[in-house]
Amino acid sequence: MDIIEGVGFVTGIAAVYLLYKNHILTWPVGFINIGCFMWMFWQQKLYGDFIVQLIFLTSGIWGWANWNQKTLKNPSKFTNPNRVIWIILTILITPFTTYYLKNYTDCSYPIAEATILSLSIFGQGLTALRKIENWYWWLVADFLMIIVYAKNELYLTSVYAAIIFVIGIFGILSWNKLIAKSTFD
């Protein structure tokens, strides 16, 4: 096991666990994870995932600032029209990222990487906004990551994706309880 992959593994699981707990430390712990994964993905020619990490770094700063606001202490849900807009935007960006990765990089799996990239961009935005829908975007992305990482022999990272997939299922349940509780407070 490579030390960078090990640190990424531990900090990634910790960051997702902190997200599940709705804790603001998810952001700084996530920054360590991002640095590790940026290095690893560049080495493996997983450029879509590398770009995702750059986006995570930028949007993580925004998310951390957002979560520091007193008005954004609890997760919430989108209305149906807003949810549909986020779904459409996620679907629309995928062909563009696929085209780029196929034609301008030596990306290992351009279609899967583009899909992961699109889901992750919008999943991160939803996380920064503290919307429960973030978990659904992450579950699909995590499932694809399990496969892509295993095919690239990043077995520990594939296990990491499987673990955060499971935490994501519990995240949906936990955040639904927080939303229900905040409705009655």
What is the pLDDT, as a whole number, of residue 182?
A: 79
Low-confidence ranges of the chain (pLDDT < 50): none
pLDDT given at position 136: 96
158: its two tokens: 């594939």
pLDDT of residue 184: 66
Whole-prediction pTM value?
0.84
Measuring CA to CA, how many Å separate 46 from each of 74, 106, 113, 117?
Answer: 34, 9, 7, 11
Distances (CA, A) of 126 to 10, 49, 76, 103: 23, 18, 10, 29
Q: Specify the pLDDT at position 185.
A: 56
Q: Tell me, what DSSP letter sits at residue 72?
A: G
Q: How many residues does the chain have?
A: 185
- Nearest CA to 173 out of 145, 139, 126 is that of 139
DSSP letter, residue 70: G
At 139, give phi and psi (nearest 5°).
-60, -45
Distance (Å, rounded) from C-alpha 26 to C-alpha 64?
Answer: 9
pLDDT score for 16:
93
